[in-house]
Structures are given as C-alpha cells and as structure tokens.
Structure 1
Amino acid sequence: MEDLKMNGKEQRKYWLDTMLLIGAPVLEALKRRTLTKTLPVEFHSGRGGFAPLEAFARLACGMAPWLELEGLEGEEEKLRGYYAKLMLEALDAATDPESADVMDFEAEGQPLVDAAFLAHALVRAPKRLASQLNERVRGNVIAALKKTRRTAPSGSNWLLFSAMVEAALYILGDPEYDRMRVGYAVHMFMDWYKGDGVYGDGKDFRWDYYNSFVIQPMLVDVITLFEQDSAHYPQLKPLVMQRARRYATVLERMIAPDGTYPFLGRSIVYRFGAFQLLAQAALQHFLEESLQPAQVRCALTAVIKRIMEFPGNLDENGWLRPGVYGYQPELAESYINTGSLYLCATVFLPLGLLPEDSFWSGENQNWTSRQIAAGENVIRDHAL
C-alpha cells in the first residue's frame, strides 16, 4: 500500500503538509481580516453566520499541540513559529470588536460549541497561545468566551462544551471561572457510561463518532486540568483514562486494511476528525500496551491519504467542501456549514510529538485489521 512506502519521517512531512494545506487559507484570511468575506457560505447558507468561528476554532483545536511543541529544529520550526504567530493574530482578529472578522460568540446555541473548540486549543497550547496573548487580546478572548454562558447546554455532549470554556478561562487566569459547570459535566458523563469504553451522548447511546469528536477528548483534558480541584477527580481520572484507552483501541480496529472505516451516524463529513481520540491517545501516550505507536501512525496515515487523494475535497480556492471522499453534500446534516468541516484537523494532534518520539521514529507496522487480513497471528480483542 502506498502509505507504507513512506517511512516515519516522510509520513510526518505528509501530515504537516496536509494540515497546512487545509489550515493555511483560514489563518491567512484571518491575518488579513477577510475570513468573513471570503469563506464560502453557499452550502447551508442559513448557518453562514457561524461559519467563520467554526472554521477557526476547529482548526485551532487540531493545530494547537504542534504550535505548543518545543525542541523542533530547521524548516519545521520556522513553519511552527510562523503559524504560532499567525494563530495569535487570528485570536485577535476573531475577538476584537473593531475587527472585520470579529466572530459571533453571543447568539444562543452554536457559538458555545465552537467557543469550546477554541477553548480546547488554548488548553492544548497554554505556553505558545494562552500565555502569549497581550492584555488587550486576553481581555477580548475572556469576554468572548463568557458571552457563551447565556446558552444553557442540553443533557448531551454540550455539557462538555460549557466545561471546556471554563477550562480556558482558568488557563487564561480568570478568577471567575465556574467550577460548577466543570463538575456537572464530569459527573453527568460518569452516569452516562454505557460500557466497554463508550459513553452515551446523554442518557442514550448512538452509533456515531461523538465519543471521538467531543466527549472523550474533552473529558480527558478537563479532568486532567482540574484533577486537584476536587476530592473526587483523582479517583475518577484512572477510570476516565481506562475508558479512553479502550475506545482508542476500538477506533484503531475500525480502520480497514485499505484505510476506509465505517461511515456511521451523524457528522461523518468531519472526515478523519472521527479519529481525534486515537490521535490524542498517541499524543498523550495513553495507548494500550498492545497497540504500538507506529502502527497507529500507519493506520492514520492510510485514512488521511485515502481521503485526501480523492479529488474534490477542496474547492478551487482551497476551502474544504462537504463529504468524505470528495464533494458529497447529501452526507451533511442541516447544522453543518463549510466551517464545520474543519474539525477534521483534530487528526493531526500527534504532530505535537517530536520527530524522535516512537510514534514518528518507529518502523512501519501494519495496523490490526491489516495484520489479520494478511494472515498474521493476532491476539484476540477483549472487552474492558
């Protein structure tokens, strides 16, 4: 298979090139403060007002660990430094009331969702993003995040959006962050656990990727950030991590030998964002021992290449288009617009590891389904 002809170093370059191919149009437009004017909104145009914040926040959520990385050298470090500066400029453009690209954090509903993805970026890059904001921009970001409190989250993954906003306020040093919103989300999801590494989205279970799009990545990072904030969190954290570790294994096993995967449930046009939790497990080194980092790298590379080599994912100006393989607008729910699609960037979280990390430096290795399909003697799967 083509992906296995590249070694780890070459795969890293491919990942980086792909992330920047997807992300550069968004950040360069924000630098010019022209994102609102240039981001396509013809697709589900009724949602167009939310599109700039969705595109920016979801992209930032995926890029943040790479921007946070210390110890890079050479050309990649030059790129990282450039894009870190660009991201800081974008945060200013998005929250400055005088900016042509000031974004809607105030309307009820959707702004809470994407304020949370932006907040997650700040949590993932506390040194290179959150602590680098000057007082004016920091104040604007805090004010923007607080506007989303007027939305009362439903009994679903939205509770974690509220919790993540508070996590960013904590990272930004705002003494008025709300511990109750964090605690309520954590404890409700403990009640909604369904077994074998999977939570319900609320009290019900649904066949979709929201355990990876939202629930487990945010739950892991929130409980880690606030571990010492409650007597209960240190007891809950091992349980949260055990479940996340199992779900990451399930995700790896869902990747077929050819890099396809089951297209189940809603929001599948977020493409390889479906594997955010697996990517995060690699980034934060909590993969199960039976799962080698290099096989995860090869599996995710296969997924990314299988999608990106299909024509039509991007329009003539480089903006994402709805679909999984090319332009497939009927796959997108009514709440999805062009900006929503940028949640795909969360697959790139392992770029926050240095090239020397075993994720990148390990020899190419078949992933689980490919091992089985090749007749290898693979240890059977088991439930948590």
Structure 2
Amino acid sequence: MIVHTHQQNLIKLSILTILLLSLSFNRSHAQQNSNGVKDRQIWVKALYKIAYPVIHNLSKGTLKQNLPLEKGNNYNLKLQDVTYLEAVGRTIAGVAPWLGLPDDNTEEGNLRKGMRLELLQGLKNAVDPQNPDYLNFRSQAQAIVDAAYLAQTFIRAPKALWEPLDQVTKKRYIEEFKSLRTRTGAYNNWLLFAGLTEGFLMSIGEQYDPARIQFAVNKVTEWYVGDSWYKDGEKFSMDYYNSYVMHPMMVDLTKILSEQKKGSTDNYNQALKRMVRYAEYLERIIGTDGSYPAYGRSVTYRTAAFQALAQVALMDQLPAGVTPAQVRCALTQVFLKMYDGNQNFDDKGWLVLGFNGHQPELADVYTSTGSLYMATLAFLPLGLPAENKFWSDPSAPWTAVKAWSGQSFKKDYKVEY
C-alpha cells in the first residue's frame, strides 16, 4: 500500500500532536501531584523573586534610586510621591507571615532570616527623614492606602517586624500614621484603609480615631449584598477588590475591635464567615492549568486576587469540603503559571505592568510599578510551618480538576450570612 506524502505528513503531525498533549498532561499531572515539600519550594522561590528587589534596596537606601518608574498612559497621581510607599507597604504585607516564622538552620530558614533582617533595617530607613528612602506619608491621599498595608504588616507579624524596632522608629511610624488624618479618600474600600491604620494604633495602646474605625465597619457592613460579596461603595463592582481589600481588612479590623473589647465578637465572626465563603468561590475559579479570569479593574495586581483564600488558609478556616492540600496545589499551579518564567519581570527583576506579561495598556490611572507589589498577598500560607497539614498532606485535586476529569465535587449554593 502506497501512502502519499501528504498523508504521511498528516500522520506525523498527528503523532507529534499526541506526544505534545501527553507531555503537557504529564507535566500538569506531575505538578498537581507534587508533594508539599516541592510546592513550598516553589512558593518560596516565587515570593523571594518578587519581594527581594524591594526589601533589599530599601535596606540599602537605594529603593528610590533603583525602582523603575513605569506608569500607565493615563496615570493621574504624583508618581514619585506615591510609588515607593506603594511598593514597600504592599510587598511586606504579603511577606510578613513568612518572616514571622522562627529561625531554623534550613536553606529556607536562612533565606527567611536574611530577608527579615534586611526588612527591619529597611523599616528603619523608611521613616528616617535623613535616609534617601524616607517614604512620603505626609502628602497625597494615596498614602492612606499604603500606610494601611504597612499597618497590616505589623498586625500580621508583630513579634518579628514591630516589636524588634527601636523606640525612635516605632515613634516615627506612630506619628506618620497619625499624620494621615489630614486627608480623606474615596468613598469605597478606602474607608477600610483609614480604619485599619487606626485599628493598629488601638492595638498597641496609642491614641486612635474611633470615628474612622466605626465609620469603616458600619459602611462596609451596610455594603454587604449577600453570598460573600460586598459592594465597593454605593455601587457593586465585579472585580477582585473583595480579595484585595474588603474581606481581609474587615476581618483584621473587627478582630482587633473584639480583642480590645471595643467591638462585638459577633461582628468579627460574621466577617470571618463571609470571607470563608468568598474563599470557597476563589478556589473554584482556579482552572486546571492554574489560570483564572482576568476581569475587573486592577488585574495588574496579579495574584493578590487570592489574598482572601490565602488568609483563610493561614487561619486554618477553610470552608467545609475544601482541603488545605487542594488549596496548596491550586495556588502552586497559579504561581508556576505566573512566576516560573520571566514574563512578568524586567531584566533587573522588577515587576512590569501587566497581567501575565508586559501589558502596560492594562494599567489603571493609579497604577505604577510600586502598585504591582500587592501580588505578594497570595503567599500568606507560607506563614504556616512546613510540618503544618497545609504543606504535609498528600497532594489533592482542586475543584476545577475534579470537575473537568469527571470526579465527584461539591455542589455550590449561596449562603445567607
């Protein structure tokens, strides 16, 4: 039987396609079934890759010298007044739980200790008026936002990142936070930024503004629309701000109020239940290959979209039917897809404007290089020690993998709280 050249080529192409699909499946399957030790290494590598340029330069007083000043075409802020504080606050809010772990002699432990020591020096530099990297808290409304992420850093790792600071540095942070009261911001998630900074001051026994705290809690409670979703102000927005800001900061603030006997424990428990439900939603949108929808504003914050899921995992409060291992494996796949290559970094290791690659057209009017470092907020479970079940349990498929491979998976229904 004679097979024509065209037919031979088709056969060869079909065989090649099958081989490529098999390799792709095997790589994905191997990633889904990698053990927790390997997954943790992937997380540490990605987080360190993102955070190191910011923390290292801040420790040396060279952040303002070396941070690229890329911005969107319609950028409408005073770039050099805001981008450096953005980079610092957003980076360290995600790194804090990891740096809060005790020292050990492992390779990861040495890496962590080195970064923590650099950050402590950097935190000192950031509020030293004589340092080249003295950050601007005193002008621009944007400082309200990123001071809150700094406050959240201290809330998340007080023993590692707040208590070791010298008294002069602590006093400087307190005064910088209080200086924010001369400004106001947008009538939306910004209320939580102002409230959380004041909540931190309350938590350390400093004078605080109760009106800013109560206004934030009251309005966000009013903005709840059901099934884990808050409006971002008077109108609902379909974006990731419920994860970037609303749930994590509402939970953190109401927890402080409860602990300080200034608010109801019921309010905290309700906020937590709502975040747990939202985390269930986030786990479901992670595709079999680690992709997730790029919808809404601020998609250049990349993996910050999963902060609420990450925080729920850190708190050991995952919803029923969602195991720590499946969250670990799902987020590992996300991090591999987003950070294993160099498409999201420039040649010096800084993040570039975009979602998955250099896509500056996606930048919002408030987005610059410093804004992007909210990406670290998905890495909060690294604050769980390596022996925790999040890392030690056998690998498990997440919801999308179950659904698309014909396995049984939990049906989804709305909740009423």
TM beyond 0.5: yes
CA contact (8 A) 2:103 2:113 kept: no
CA contact (8 A) 1:212 1:277 kept: yes
Q: After the TM superposition, which residues 159-198 of structure 1 pair with which residues of structure 2 at under 5 Å, given as runs?
A: 159-174=191-206, 176-198=207-229
CA–CA distance in structure 2, aligned partners of residues 172 and 91 of structure 1: 18
- The question of 1:22 aligning with 2:50 is answered yes
CA contact (8 A) 1:138 1:172 kept: no
1:314 is aligned to 345
CA–CA distance in structure 2, aligned partners of residues 137 and 232 of structure 1: 29
**Amino acid in the other structure paired with 2:384:** L
Q: How many residues align?
A: 383
CA–CA distance in structure 1, aligned partners of residues 134 and 193 of structure 2: 21
2:64 is aligned to 36
CA–CA distance in structure 1, aligned partners of residues 139 and 264 of structure 2: 32
1:108 is aligned to 140
1:6 is aligned to 34
CA contact (8 A) 1:108 1:150 kept: no
CA–CA distance in structure 2, aligned partners of residues 222 and 231 of structure 1: 11
CA–CA distance in structure 1, aligned partners of residues 262 and 116 of structure 2: 36
CA contact (8 A) 2:82 2:140 kept: no
- The question of 1:142 aligning with 2:140 is answered no
TM-score, normalised relative to structure 2? 0.89
CA–CA distance in structure 2, aligned partners of residues 153 and 127 of structure 1: 31
CA–CA distance in structure 1, aligned partners of residues 335 and 287 of structure 2: 13
CA–CA distance in structure 1, aligned partners of residues 60 and 263 of structure 2: 46
CA–CA distance in structure 2, aligned partners of residues 238 and 25 of structure 1: 38
**Once the 2 structures are TM-superposed, how far is the Cα of residue 180 of structure 1 from its aligned partner?**
2.4
- SS of the equivalent of 1:194 reads strand
**Once the 2 structures are TM-superposed, how far is the Cα of residue 73 of structure 1 from its aligned partner?**
4.7
CA–CA distance in structure 1, aligned partners of residues 321 and 275 of structure 2: 15
CA contact (8 A) 2:227 2:277 kept: yes
CA contact (8 A) 1:27 1:90 kept: yes
- Bigger Cα displacement from structure 2, 77-86 vs 55-64: 77-86
CA contact (8 A) 1:270 1:342 kept: yes
Structure number with greater Rg is 2
CA–CA distance in structure 2, aligned partners of residues 293 and 158 of structure 1: 31
**Once the 2 structures are TM-superposed, how far is the Cα of residue 312 of structure 1 from its aligned partner?**
2.3
Paired residue for 2:248, among 217, 223, 229?
A: 217
**Once the 2 structures are TM-superposed, how far is the Cα of residue 310 of structure 1 from its aligned partner?**
4.5
CA contact (8 A) 1:36 1:101 kept: yes
1:265 is aligned to 296
Paired residue for 1:359, among 387, 390, 394?
A: 390
- The question of 1:250 aligning with 2:281 is answered yes
CA contact (8 A) 2:124 2:169 kept: yes
1:241 is aligned to 272
Paired residue for 1:93, among 95, 120, 125?
A: 125
**Amino acid in the other structure paired with 1:41:** L
CA–CA distance in structure 1, aligned partners of residues 218 and 71 of structure 2: 38
Alpha-carbon displacement from aligned partner over 1:300-355 (angstroms, at most 9, x marks no partner): 11111111134421111110001111111111101000000000001110000011
2:99 is aligned to 67
**Amino acid in the other structure paired with 1:198:** W
**Structure 2 unmatched ranges of 5 or more:** 1-27
1:76 is aligned to 108
**Amino acid in the other structure paired with 1:25:** P
- The question of 1:349 aligning with 2:380 is answered yes
**Amino acid in the other structure paired with 1:66:** W
Indicate the RMSD between aligned Cα atoms, in angstroms. 1.5
- The question of 1:293 aligning with 2:324 is answered yes
2:333 is aligned to 302
**Amino acid in the other structure paired with 1:340:** S
CA contact (8 A) 2:93 2:150 kept: yes
CA contact (8 A) 2:312 2:318 kept: yes
Alpha-carbon displacement from aligned partner over 1:93-123 (angstroms, at most 9, x marks no partner): 1110111000110113111110011110011
CA–CA distance in structure 1, aligned partners of residues 57 and 268 of structure 2: 40
CA contact (8 A) 1:91 1:141 kept: no
- SS of the equivalent of 2:225 reads strand
Equivalent pairs: percent with the same residue?
A: 39
- The question of 1:118 aligning with 2:150 is answered yes
- Bigger Cα displacement from structure 2, 164-173 vs 196-205: 164-173
CA contact (8 A) 1:311 1:325 kept: no
**Once the 2 structures are TM-superposed, how far is the Cα of residue 72 of structure 1 from its aligned partner?**
4.7
- SS of the equivalent of 2:367 reads coil
CA–CA distance in structure 1, aligned partners of residues 412 and 349 of structure 2: 41
CA–CA distance in structure 2, aligned partners of residues 248 and 224 of structure 1: 18
CA–CA distance in structure 1, aligned partners of residues 107 and 341 of structure 2: 28
**Once the 2 structures are TM-superposed, how far is the Cα of residue 190 of structure 1 from its aligned partner?**
1.0
CA–CA distance in structure 1, aligned partners of residues 259 and 215 of structure 2: 16
- SS of the equivalent of 1:226 reads helix
**Once the 2 structures are TM-superposed, how far is the Cα of residue 228 of structure 1 from its aligned partner?**
4.0
CA–CA distance in structure 2, aligned partners of residues 8 and 353 of structure 1: 12
CA contact (8 A) 2:298 2:364 kept: yes
**Once the 2 structures are TM-superposed, how far is the Cα of residue 230 of structure 1 from its aligned partner?**
4.9
**Once the 2 structures are TM-superposed, how far is the Cα of residue 232 of structure 1 from its aligned partner?**
4.7
- SS of the equivalent of 1:257 reads coil
**Once the 2 structures are TM-superposed, how far is the Cα of residue 75 of structure 1 from its aligned partner?**
2.4
CA–CA distance in structure 2, aligned partners of residues 108 and 323 of structure 1: 25
